[in-house]
Amino acid sequence: MRQEKLRVGVIGVGHLGEYHVQKYKAIPAAELVGIVDTNFDRADEIQRRYRTKAFRTHHDILDQVDAVSLVVPTEAHFEIAKDILSSGVHLLIEKPITYKLDDADNLLNLAQKENLVLQVGLVERFNPAVVKMETLLNQPVFIESHRMNLFTTRGIDVDVVLDLMIHDLDIILHVVPSEVKELHAVGMSVMTGKTDIANARMIFENGAVANLTASRVSNKTLRKIRVFQPDAYLSVNCGKREISVIRLDSEVDNSNPYPQITADKIRFRDSDPLADEISSFVDVVMNGASPVVTGRDGRRALQFALGIIDQIERGCNNFQAVC
């Protein structure tokens, strides 16, 4: 697609959807045509705040845009996304792509048939500390991720695996060049009736192991990924957008028989992963490239997220002293 500006819209302008509106407004190559929300008061509020147009349903905007962000509850993803792609509109869909693998496959097939971009909003792939980590990877042996949140009512339409852990699932599946051999998971409900704390262990065909923990009932916020590999230990703080790299010093100190360790920390304080994600989406649509996080990436992350949820539901998943 070659044109001066990409006509875009945002469907769903709650807490996260408003951020999408902000980012599109700041991109010179994009023209924000309008927004959609079933809460008409909220739609009118965003319309005034960002000087755009509010549409009552997604059907009303699709013939006026080239691309949209879909930022609605997951239960509505499939039906609305199907309408978007059937109308020939490129789509950035927030994670998870859908609830069901069959629905995800239908969207992938529809996007391919219509030759449309289908990008999934797994925003941590645009975190500069994660991007830097990818350039330093060398046969990872063990990867550990922790993603902890204070409890809020946002995102509780899905359990913690689809809400939080899916980010780390996507990253790990992307950076480990091997198929998953074994998957083990445990978890429990504490507050919501859905899984609020989960742990998963993935063993890959090449011998690499990943251990993932997610909680949305923590007493602090934590977003870290640690990688152990033959030449280095990498510690990524996704929240602070920084990475520490620990290696053996190649310089020999004759006064000490043991090798020395060096540590370097790189910070990316002025970065904005969501802005980078949306800017990348606009660029991909306008220039005909492949998105950083494809629909197939989103589908694969969903596949293993559902596998984890299934194991948890078949095991002990209630908060009690003895299971």
Residues 201 and 93 in one domain: no
Q: Which of 116, 139, 173 is the last residue of a domain?
A: 116
Q: How many domains does the chain have?
A: 2
Type of residue found at 21? V
Task: For residue 263, give Cα distances in angstroms to 146, 186, 232, 236, 239.
Answer: 21, 34, 10, 13, 20
Query: pLDDT at position 317, please?
Result: 53
Q: Can you give the pLDDT at residue 323? A: 40
**Do 257 and 110 reside in the same domain of the chain?**
no
- Residue 287 is assigned to a structural domain of this protein: no
pLDDT tens track for 186-201: 999 888 888 999 999 9
What HEC string does the chain produce?
CCCCCEEEEEECCCHHHHHHHHHHHCCCCEEEEEEECCCHHHHHHHHHHHCCCEECCHHHCHHHCCEEEECCCHHHHHHHHHHHHHCCCEEEEECCCCCCHHHHHHHHHHHHHHCCCEEEECHHHHCHHHHHHHHHCCCCCEEEEEEECCCCCCCCCCCHHHHHHHHHHHHHHHHCCCCEEEEEEEEEECCCCCCCEEEEEEEECCCCEEEEEEECCCCCCEEEEEEEECCEEEEEECCCCEEEEEEECCCCCCCCCCCCEEEEEEECCCCCHHHHHHHHHHHHHHHCCCCCCEHHHHHHHHHHHHHHHHHHHHCCCECCCCC
Domain boundary among 62, 92, 116: 116
CATH assignment of the domain containing 246: 3.30.360.10
| Dihedral angle, C-alpha 147, 107, 17, 46, nearest 10 ° | -170
* Boundaries of domain holding 156: 125-272+304-314
Question: Do 266 and 142 share a domain, yes or no?
Answer: yes
What's the pTM? Answer: 0.92
Residue 100: CA count within 13 A, CB half-sphere: 7
| 224 within domain boundaries | yes
According to the model, what pLDDT value does residue 319 have?
A: 47
Q: Which residues of the chain have pLDDT under 50?
A: 1, 319-323
* 110 and 136 fall within a common domain: no
Both 132 and 264 in a single domain? Answer: yes
Same domain, 130 and 261: yes
If asked whether residues 30 and 143 sit together in one domain, one would say no
**pLDDT in the model for residue 26:** 97
Residue 41 lies in a domain: yes
Asked if residue 244 belongs to a domain, the reply is yes
Amino acid at 140: P
The verdict on 108 and 131 lying in the same domain is no
Tell me, yes or no, whether 54 lies in a domain.
Answer: yes
According to the model, what pLDDT value does residue 314 have? 86
| CATH number, residue 18 | 3.40.50.720
For residues 99 and 146, state if they share a domain.
no
Last residue of a domain, one of 78, 96, 116: 116
